[in-house]
Structure 1
């Protein structure tokens, strides 16, 4: 596996941290407990979720942290669950498309009925407005009341390498469905519909159909979702082709045109209509927050994130019905307390360390998004962060994969920490999947806070890449988001502890540094950081 060179615009000024013992016993006990059947899969809004929050407060306090939310251990996260029903077909011209088989749709608005009536369909290419990259698919178009038909991923995702306006094969945030819906709403669209394609999306239509049907939960940020489109949805590739055919246009030709810088959005001359009903359930979950106050710069923060939730009772008709989420993410949740305990024992660094266990990641990063929208510690005062999600239990590795490597000056700190461990950085094996935009660090990132998302690589000390790939494939096939993700007394913990040593070093280096790592020039999050800094009288 080829190693990558880490580049950054600045060298670190922090010294390497002294060696410290991180408790493997604490890790084992916490992962065993959190993934036990007693916690019922840690689904927010259930007794198992409430039990998890109470347990984490106990563990954070035992680790020596102080309550992190103005004297409280928790931050309430109001959630709303919206369930659609009675879906009419999606009608385009004389064509009718069947819900589930041909299309799926949801509403983020808290209204009893969603009705899209005779909405003009406008093909907006990849639906991107990126001034720093000289790209605006919406230029000169008034989307009010119209339906945006959008391609998934970025304009240059078919490139073999990582060079291009949108980083070639590596997906940027502009390629994520979340961004495309957000931008369509900002443009005033009535609906936003993304065209599915297996490779570009990194998953099949079955995943879309399963994920976008049934109850959908969202952070309840007020306003009943009135700033959102009426409907967000997907159409299968076959459905998209039929829509273009009805408009007397060729899908492949239009998709090719959309990848070019001079593309201009075009009305298809056909209208979309559908309707469905919505029911609501409002409930509250909690983020858990602990802090270790810094010695000389207590108002500058290094944040650690991990999601405590999982899928609950996910297979009610099976003998083993609980998705226990041992790896995903009892490991990362336990790491919060184990790392906190180690930092407390070593004594506080100059900057404050925050440990944030967030809720509802599995429902769309909702706890992290709510915190990021309502930060306890200002983003302008948050130097950087470390996210831990699904720490591998396949033994020690010679390498790591850093989602988002090459985007910020955090690279220099990682280079130093990896050199201390004798490990290397390997290329992201699936850059087109956009994993950097799919875990709890991302709500911070899109508001400008540089964050690490570093995971063990596949080049194992015992067995090399072949063994690493086999272990990863076995986890994906037998355990991921399934009842098989259970605690195993035979696990090899050496890799987990190796990764925790890395996370500890990164936090300690940042915590004792006067540096404020910046995004690399031209990065899509550079402007958000600058805006945050400009609005602050302190911090970055």
Structure 2
């Protein structure tokens, strides 16, 4: 699962006071009710814990090197999954038959980065911070910069008014002007405006005025560096078609308080005086500052080809409609000699999807296959920002208009602290966000067959973990395709080297896998496709 980082406590507070639109309760099945047995359960029983164990132990072995996108270990894992699909009798498909959808990525890192003040060079990530993806190649040598308050441009408050800033370097404060009582001049209340929460607004304003580079004074510089360390030390990965044009980028450098004092020199007192006047009056105050500043920024870009993996089981009379069952197979790779094997995240989901594909294909092989087609989609690049699934929804193998739903599986092999030692549960996220029928089907399948505790806690609109936005189903939901996400929670080994196969509960995986198969079977065979009736 992708790590989702944010700083804003305000966002959390606003969410906590929000109203829940979606189900967030725990659904406990009636364990006294007899479990149904029919042809669907016979197909579900193809999914076996022993086979799941075999697959997870390979995918989470050191030979796969943590399966990071762009590595030999990731390629080795992809080839293994494709071989499993072939062994299960699922044919390649497409104009040029294959199990793969190639995805072009770009790795971006700093090749050279320097910042000097009065010919003294300062240290990146100690004195200042600049993130490769947020910048373009730049060379600056200037004898002056412009203090521009907070870098805000609105009808109520405008730092840019009557100023020509084309090709200038500006320095601004984070946030927005407030009174001594802490009220924003923009909102008139203690709740700040979007200018405090969304840096892009300030970058867009600077771009409109032709600014060359923005320097931002960061009171919490250390926390900012800690939050963004991996974005600098590890290459940033983007889809090759996902980069902003160079003319749409304004370079941005975050300054520590200490290096800010060095940059401003004798002008520091004037700047503080101007800032205090802004707070006192609510009116912009700019200042031209004489200082010798040098900036060099040059990026290194490397093309990387990744692969989504496709296991397609063609339907019968409704074959033009497609159900997608997804999981990501990539993980976070190696750090030095340490291998992050990612048994739970997400060899567990990858294995579950592959075994569901096997059960679907078995049903088809005996003439009882699903009415709708089923695409089991193993995506790459999830750990880099849900990139493989993002690529798929923008380059779908089957029209999105014909895609009835996405069932996504991410981390279903462990038991979290809330449920230890009882493994008979699963967190369900997104089931009622777009389609009430999808939620209804999941509950009815559970009551009839599975008898698993369905915990919807993380489906709450105000869930501070934001899990709904952190796995591959979200890219489908954004396209208004109903999506349901099965997840077993985090644990002490999440994104750590201890996420190993011997800690996986394979019997639990088997039970969840069979439940998901039965839900997929219901969706694929229903007389009518589920509809979007909520937005």
**TM-score by structure 1 length?**
0.65
Is the alpha carbon distance of 1:294 and 1:120 closer, same or farther for their aligned partners in structure 2, counting shifts above 3 Å?
farther
Aligned residues of 1:90 and 1:98 also touching (Cα < 8 A): no
The correspondence of residues 230-241 of structure 1 with structure 2, limited to 5 A, is 230-231=250-251
Q: In structure 1, the residue corresponding to 2:383 is in which secondary structure?
A: coil
Deviation at 1:120, TM superposition (A): 8.6
The correspondence of residues 379-398 of structure 1 with structure 2, limited to 5 A, is 379-394=400-415, 397=423
Structure 1 position 106 matched with structure 2 position 138: no
Q: In structure 1, the residue corresponding to 2:501 is in which secondary structure?
A: coil
Partner of 1:337: 354
Aligned residues of 2:151 and 2:206 also touching (Cα < 8 A): no
- CA–CA distance in 2 between the matches of 1:449 and 1:186? 35
Deviation at 1:220, TM superposition (A): 0.9
Structure whose alpha-carbon radius of gyration is higher: 2
Deviation at 1:102, TM superposition (A): 6.2
- CA–CA distance in 2 between the matches of 1:301 and 1:192? 48
Is the alpha carbon distance of 1:48 and 1:349 closer, same or farther for their aligned partners in structure 2, counting shifts above 3 Å?
same
The correspondence of residues 52-451 of structure 1 with structure 2, limited to 5 A, is 52-70=77-95, 71-89=97-115, 99-101=124-126, 104-108=129-133, 112-113=137-138, 206-221=226-241, 225-226=245-246, 229-231=249-251, 246=271, 248-249=274-275, 275-316=296-337, 321-346=338-363, 347-394=368-415, 397=423, 399-404=425-430, 406-409=432-435, 411-419=436-444, 420=446, 421-428=451-458, 431-451=463-483
Is the alpha carbon distance of 1:424 and 1:75 closer, same or farther for their aligned partners in structure 2, counting shifts above 3 Å?
closer
Aligned residues of 2:331 and 2:345 also touching (Cα < 8 A): yes
User: What's the RMSD between the two structures over aligned residues?
Assistant: 5.1
- CA–CA distance in 2 between the matches of 1:381 and 1:147? 50
Aligned residues of 1:40 and 1:313 also touching (Cα < 8 A): yes
1:492-534 Cα distance to aligned partner (Å, 9 max, x none): 323222321332233222212323431624xxxxxxxxxxxxx
Deviation at 1:357, TM superposition (A): 1.3
- CA–CA distance in 2 between the matches of 1:224 and 1:90? 27
Q: In structure 1, the residue corresponding to 2:495 is in which secondary structure?
A: coil
Greater CA drift, 418-427 or 355-364: 418-427
- CA–CA distance in 2 between the matches of 1:63 and 1:52? 17
- CA–CA distance in 2 between the matches of 1:237 and 1:502? 55
- CA–CA distance in 2 between the matches of 1:191 and 1:69? 48
Deviation at 1:331, TM superposition (A): 0.9
- CA–CA distance in 1 between the matches of 2:428 and 2:288? 44
Q: In structure 2, the residue corresponding to 1:291 is in which secondary structure?
A: strand
- CA–CA distance in 1 between the matches of 2:229 and 2:124? 9
- CA–CA distance in 2 between the matches of 1:274 and 1:483? 38
> Which of 499, 514, 533 in structure 2 is aligned with 1:485?
499
Deviation at 1:97, TM superposition (A): 9.1
Deviation at 1:373, TM superposition (A): 2.2
- CA–CA distance in 1 between the matches of 2:469 and 2:275? 33
Partner of 2:62: 37
Deviation at 1:333, TM superposition (A): 1.1
- CA–CA distance in 1 between the matches of 2:375 and 2:504? 29
Aligned residues of 1:205 and 1:236 also touching (Cα < 8 A): no
Uncovered stretches (5+) of structure 2, i.e. residues with no partner: 1-19, 25-35, 154-160, 176-190, 192-196, 416-420
Aligned residues of 1:185 and 1:229 also touching (Cα < 8 A): no
Aligned residues of 1:81 and 1:280 also touching (Cα < 8 A): yes
Q: In structure 2, the residue corresponding to 1:432 is in which secondary structure?
A: coil
1:286-310 Cα distance to aligned partner (Å, 9 max, x none): 1111111111221211112211122
Partner of 1:136: none
1:446-485 Cα distance to aligned partner (Å, 9 max, x none): 333232222236xxxxxxxxxxxxxx4xx33xx2223222
Aligned residues of 1:41 and 1:312 also touching (Cα < 8 A): yes
Is the alpha carbon distance of 1:276 and 1:384 closer, same or farther for their aligned partners in structure 2, counting shifts above 3 Å?
same
Q: In structure 2, the residue corresponding to 1:333 is in which secondary structure?
A: helix
1:103-151 Cα distance to aligned partner (Å, 9 max, x none): 53334489654769969969689x9xxxxxxxxxxxx9xx998999999
Aligned residues of 2:60 and 2:347 also touching (Cα < 8 A): yes
Deviation at 1:434, TM superposition (A): 2.0
1:71-106 Cα distance to aligned partner (Å, 9 max, x none): 221111112111114434499xxxx99642465333
Is the alpha carbon distance of 1:197 and 1:350 closer, same or farther for their aligned partners in structure 2, counting shifts above 3 Å?
farther
Greater CA drift, 373-382 or 60-69: 60-69
